[in-house]
Structure formats: structure tokens, C-alpha cells
């Protein structure tokens, strides 16, 4: 015995969401049916619009339903000679929240991960190389995560940028401001020693 066909279909479909197993899919379906059908319908329409209409910015690859994202479309920032390379659109938001960076971005939407089938093509590196080859880029700031994959991705991109004689930098990793030394992990601590600056 199973649930009714439509309910079964809903529970199965919810499992496409990352981290949602059979039990939580059931709980989600029951909660929507019992408490909030309006929210369920709103989610259905948001999903269908986003899946159909959200594409990639033709210049930086971030998600947008326009040809260019607001930053790439802006007169001032879209032609900046400094490009900051990040892994996800959430990283762009985090850097923009800081408000210090005034260049443009390139969003990889991931990192090199051969076992998951993510290579240079999946990260749009051909598009990044066209930017580098155009002569419009003076500096490439690598802001991928300080993880094994993030570092490998940064090195791969650095090699590419070197071929085009573009200046390359990596954002600094170390003890966060306000963080207490004794609670910082040993890798971060090692990075913070390696990256020490003369006073």
C-alpha cells in the first residue's frame, strides 16, 4: 500500500531537493497539505518561473533572468579592469555586503571536482579566458574558498591568467578579526603565518 497517487508523486518529487530523505519529504508534504496550501502553490509557481527563466549573466555567469546582471550592466563596474573570481553567487553577496570591492566578478558556480564531473568547461573557464585575452583585464583576484578544491581551482585559473600576462592575486586567509587565536583551526593558523606582513 502507498499514499494516493498525487501525494506519492509529491513526496517523490520533493526528494530532488538536497538533504531531503523519504521521511522529511513526507513531513514536508503533510505540512503543506495540512497547514499551508497557499505557500505550496506559491512555491510551485516560483519553481516553475525560476527553472524556465533564470539563466546566466553573459559576462560573469551569475544567475539572472536578464542578459547581464546589474553589476556587469553598470557603466562603472561592468568595464572594470579588476575581476574577482568566486565560487558562488552567495560569495558575491557577501563581498558586496562589505562594500569595499568596486570591480566586477566572475562566478564559477562550483569548483574543480573531477570525481563529480566538474572540469574547466563546467566552470565556464573558456568565457573567463576570453575576458583575459581581451586585454581589458589588469588584475584577477582569486577568492575561491580555502579548501582543497578551492585551492586547486585557484591554481588552475592562475596558470591560465599567467599565459595572458594578467596580474594575479589571492585574497588573504588568516585569523578573522574578532576571532580568538586559540579557537582558530590549525590550517587557518598556518595560512595566517604564511601570509604574515611586515609591520
DSSP-assigned beta bridge partners for residue 82 = 139
Identity of the residue, 74 or 194, whose beta carbon is nearer to its own copies in the bound complex: 74
Identity of the residue, 57 or 84, whose beta carbon is nearer to Zn ion in the bound complex: 57
Using CB under 5 A as the binding rule, the residues of this chain from 30 to 59 that contact Zn ion are: 57, 59
Whole-Å CA distances, 115 to 15, 19, 111, 118: 23, 20, 12, 7
10 binds its own copies (CB under 8 A): yes
The least CB distance from residue 48 to Zn ion, in Å, is: 24
For its own copies, the binding residue among 83, 85, 86, 89 (CB under 8 A) is 89
Q: Under 8 Å CB-to-CB from 164, ≥6 apart: which residues? A: 129, 132, 133, 137
Give the interface segment with its own copies, choosing from 10-18, 145-153, 176-184, 185-193 (CB under 8 A): 10-18
Give the interface segment with its own copies, choosing from 64-72, 140-148, 169-177, 191-199 (CB under 8 A): 64-72
177: DSSP letter:
T
Q: How would DSSP label each residue in 129-155?
A: HHHHHTT--SEEEE---SSHHHHHHHH
Identity of the residue, 36 or 159, whose beta carbon is nearer to its own copies in the bound complex: 36
Q: Residue holding cell 579566458?
A: 129
Show the cell assigned to 38. 497557499
Asked if 93 and 84 touch (Cβ cutoff 8 Å), the reply is no
The least CB distance from residue 131 to its own copies, in Å, is: 21
19 binds its own copies (CB under 8 A): yes
Distance of CA 151 to the CA centre of its chain: 15
Going by C-alpha positions, the residue among 113, 98, 100, 108 that lies closest to residue 131 is 108
Identity of the residue, 70 or 135, whose beta carbon is nearer to its own copies in the bound complex: 70
Show the cell assigned to 60. 560573469
* Phi, psi angle pair for 69, to nearest 5°: -75, 165
Give the one entry of Zn ion, its own copies, none that residue 60 binds, where binding means its C-beta sits below a cut-off of 5 to 8 angstroms depending on kind: Zn ion
Q: Which positions touch Zn ion (CB under 5 A)?
A: 57, 59-60, 69, 72
Which stretches of the chain bind its own copies, using CB under 8 A?
1-7, 9-10, 12-14, 16-19, 24, 26-34, 36-37, 39-54, 63-66, 69-70, 88-90, 92-93, 96-97, 109-110
Amino acid at each position: 500500500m502507498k499514499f494516493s497517487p498525487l501525494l506519492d508523486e509529491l513526496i517523490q518529487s520533493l526528494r530532488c531537493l538536497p538533504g531531503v530523505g523519504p521521511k522529511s519529504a513526507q513531513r514536508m508534504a503533510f505540512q503543506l497539505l495540512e497547514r499551508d496550501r497557499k505557500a505550496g502553490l506559491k512555491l510551485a509557481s516560483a519553481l516553475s518561473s525560476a527553472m524556465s527563466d533564470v539563466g546566466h549573466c553573459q559576462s560573469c555567469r551569475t544567475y539572472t533572468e536578464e542578459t547581464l546582471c546589474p553589476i556587469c550592466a553598470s557603466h562603472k563596474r561592468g568595464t572594470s579592469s579588476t575581476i574577482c573570481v568566486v565560487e558562488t553567487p552567495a560569495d558575491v553577496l557577501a563581498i558586496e555586503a562589505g562594500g569595499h570591492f568596486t570591480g566586477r566578478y566572475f562566478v564559477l558556480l562550483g569548483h574543480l571536482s573531477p570525481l563529480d564531473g566538474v572540469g574547466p568547461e563546467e566552470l565556464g573557464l573558456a568565457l573567463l579566458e576570453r575576458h583575459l585575452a581581451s586585454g581589458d583585464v589588469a588584475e584577477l583576484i582569486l577568492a575561491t574558498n580555502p579548501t582543497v578544491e578551492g585551492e586547486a581551482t585557484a591554481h588552475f585559473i592562475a596558470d591560465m591568467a599567467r599565459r595572458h600576462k594578467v596580474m594575479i592575486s589571492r585574497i588573504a586567509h588568516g585569523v578573522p578579526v574578532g576571532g580568538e587565536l586559540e579557537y582558530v583551526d590549525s590550517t587557518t593558523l598556518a595560512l595566517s603565518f604564511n601570509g604574515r606582513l611586515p609591520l
